[in-house]
Amino acid sequence: MPYENDEKNSGSVPAEPRDLHTLTHGELQELLSSLGQPKFRAKQIEEWVWVKNARSFDEMSNLPKTLREDLSRHLTLGGVTEVARQVSSDGSRKYLLRYQDGVSVECVGMPTKNRLTVCASTQAGCAMGCAFCATGAAGLTRSLTSAEIYEQVMHVRDDFNARVTSVVLMGQGEPFMNYDATLGALRRLNSPDGAGIGARHLTVSTCGVIPQIMRFANEPEQFTLAISLHSAVQKTRNALMPGVRKYSLVNLYNVMGEYVNKTGRRPTYEYALIGGINDTEPELQALCDFCEGTLAHVNLIQLNEVDGSRFHPSTEARAEDFVRRLTSVGVEATIRNSRGADIDAACGQLKQRAGH
Ligand code: SAH
Ligand code: SF4
């Protein structure tokens, strides 16, 4: 089935050249018929754009030369420009990518033996203001379109020249403050007419925008959901994550119950351990209470240091205490090692260095 773009635009033959990435299937067909071309060309062109990530019309070798010229008169191919990159000793690569309007975002490719995970951004910056996060400190520049989110993944794929096996939307930005574009990107990543990545290998991480969690639960695809919890004590969470203060932990608990009932899928709770803040005994007890008896996986991560921040990571021993206690009350828990820490590509560190 042809993929329908989520961004609606009107008019078939644009006066100003439009980015081909923003055309729906129907609009592309209309443009082609106005150029006297058969409808099947739309599918060929979309394959160049979405599967092969063509960067110029000249690459589209199965199209007649005259059509390629016509297309380049009516459309642009948008695309991202790589402005900078850093390579970590663990093989991760962080890219600074710039869009046509000059706005740039970061994304990261993380290879392991047979896998390639991409961490992509959904917004340039973020308005949620979490106290421990480098992206939050910089504020929001703008939300990205679904094509812009998608293009990050294709850029990493082409750079590694390898199939992307999973995508986590854990770069800059809050995906659920940019819901439609995020879903559009996920669908394109999932589609056989796009990147063809299994829905379960596509993960959205949210700081907990409750109305959108329910909406996400009702989407037909089996996408994976991660919630940034970071504290199960209301007062602490309010201080750490002021952007979601209005969505209380009780409401979060309830909506996650509904999410599990509805989808049968296990959500992940992200918990960055911050020494003396959310790693104390009452905090551990509250976390156990929040998760006990629910379907949950707790991902513990040592806080990544952010320049100028008053927060510091816990000790390894404390992280192990957390795993032991959670396990003892029947809650799955693991300690996740952050990748790319030496290049500031680890969680919450994107956007840290001046000029990046
Ligand atoms: N806005 C979304 C997704 C992007 S952040 C969200 O908050 O979930 C991706 C993950 O990195 C989140 O779990 C976030 O809480 C975490 N994070 C942010 N700053 C961090 C830091 N300094 N150390 C460790 N994890 C951090
Ligand atoms: Fe935004 Fe997520 Fe950072 Fe919070 S942790 S400021 S929601 S990117």
Q: What is the DSSP letter of 271?
A: E
Contact partners, residue 15, CB within 8 Å, separation at least 6: none
347 is an active site residue: yes
Q: Is the pLDDT of residue 7 over 90?
A: no
**Ligand nearest to the CA of residue 176, numbered in listed order:** 1
> How many A from CA of 66 to the centre of ligand 2?
48
The whole-angstrom separation of Cα 67 and Cα 73 is 10
Q: What percent of the chain has pLDDT over 70?
A: 91
Query: Within 10 A of 16 (CB to CB), how many other CB atoms are there?
Result: 6
Q: Take atom 9 of ligand 1 and give the residue whose Cα is closest.
A: 170
Query: Burial, 268: exposed, middle or buried (Cβ in 10 Å; 0-12, 13-18, 19+)?
Result: buried
Whether 106 is catalytic: yes
* Distance (Å) from CA 348 to ligand 1 centroid: 5
Which segments of the chain does DSSP mark as H helices, in order? 25-34, 40-46, 65-74, 134-138, 146-160, 179-190, 210-217, 234-240, 249-263, 281-291, 316-328
Residue labelled with tokens 């663990």: 90
Extract the tokens encoding 89. Answer: 């000793």
> Does the pLDDT of residue 2 top 50, yes or no?
no
pLDDT of residue 8: 46
Average pLDDT over residues 10-16: 54
Q: How far apart are CA 65 and CA 282, in angstroms?
A: 69
Which of 263, 266, 256, 270 is closest to 227 using CA atoms? 270
Please provide the average confidence, as pLDDT, over all residues in the chain: 91
Burial of 66 (0-12, 13-18, 19+ CB in 10 A): exposed
Q: Is the pLDDT of residue 302 over 90?
A: yes
Confidence of residue 3 (pLDDT cuts 50, 70, 90): very low
**Axis crossing angle, helix 179-190 with helix 146-160, rounded to the nearest 10:** 40
Q: Is the pLDDT of residue 158 over 70?
A: yes
Whose CA is closest to atom 12 on ligand 1?
Answer: 228
| Cβ of residue 133 lying under 6 Å from some atom of ligand 2 | yes
pTM assigned to the model: 0.92
Which ligand does the CA of 304 lie closest to?
A: 1
State yes or no: pLDDT of 10 exceeds 70. Answer: no
**What is the mean predicted confidence (pLDDT) over 153-159?**
97
With 80 as the cut, is the pLDDT of residue 174 above it?
yes
Confidence of residue 193 (pLDDT cuts 50, 70, 90): very high
pLDDT band for position 248 (50/70/90)?
very high
What is the structure's pLDDT at 40?
92
